[in-house]
Amino acid sequence: MAAYALCVRDGRVLLARMPGRRGGPPEWVLPGGGVEHGEDPCDAVVRELAEETGYRVEVTALLGVDSLRATLPRRFGRAVDHHAVRLLYAGRVVAGDLRPETGGSTDLAAWHPLDAVPSLVRVPLVDTGLRLWRERPATGRAGAEQGRDPGSAAPCPER
């Protein structure tokens, strides 16, 4: 399981860059990643965002759940049946300074204009996240961009 955040501010979306796989070009991804055993997904997305971008975020909404199943190649000609369950959250930056991750799965973090995303080399989850973000109620979308809670229900349990 993994948790990712879609942070949109002033018409720009926060993305992290993952070095190219198998010699391919670098790809832009939503900041986030794997949930550790026993870790709450809300805690995981806050932790992953801090690691990859330098920002501390507040989770403002659960946008949706994405499930992907694929057969992936392994060493020695074997294949593995991989099933990824990915939680997509809306997030709001509350502190920190933008910086790249050191020694991790990404090498750069940057804000991109929403209208420039289609021209980026990106993983499909970026488009899924943006679609879910655009489909939520208009009051939530405006509230999330301006830093207000988009809904009455808290997306993560109080600790």
CATH of the domain at 91: 3.90.79.10
Domains of the chain: total: 1
pTM here? 0.84
Task: Determine, yes or no, domain membership for 148.
Answer: no
Tell me if 113 sits within 8 A of 95, measured CB to CB: no
- Structural domain span for residue 16: 2-74+81-140
Determine which of 21-30, 89-98, 139-148 has the lowest per-residue pLDDT on average.
139-148
Tell me if 45 sits within 8 A of 91, measured CB to CB: yes
The predicted structure's pLDDT at residue 69 = 86
Task: Determine, yes or no, domain membership for 131.
Answer: yes
Residue 144 burial (10 A CB sphere; 0-12, 13-18, 19+): buried
Task: Determine, yes or no, domain membership for 13.
Answer: yes
Identify the CA nearest to 127 among candidates 69, 88, 83: 88
Residue type, 44: A
Of 65 and 155, the one with more pLDDT: 65
The predicted structure's pLDDT at residue 159 = 59
Task: Determine, yes or no, domain membership for 53.
Answer: yes
Chain centroid, CA 130 distance in Å = 10
Residue type, 94: V
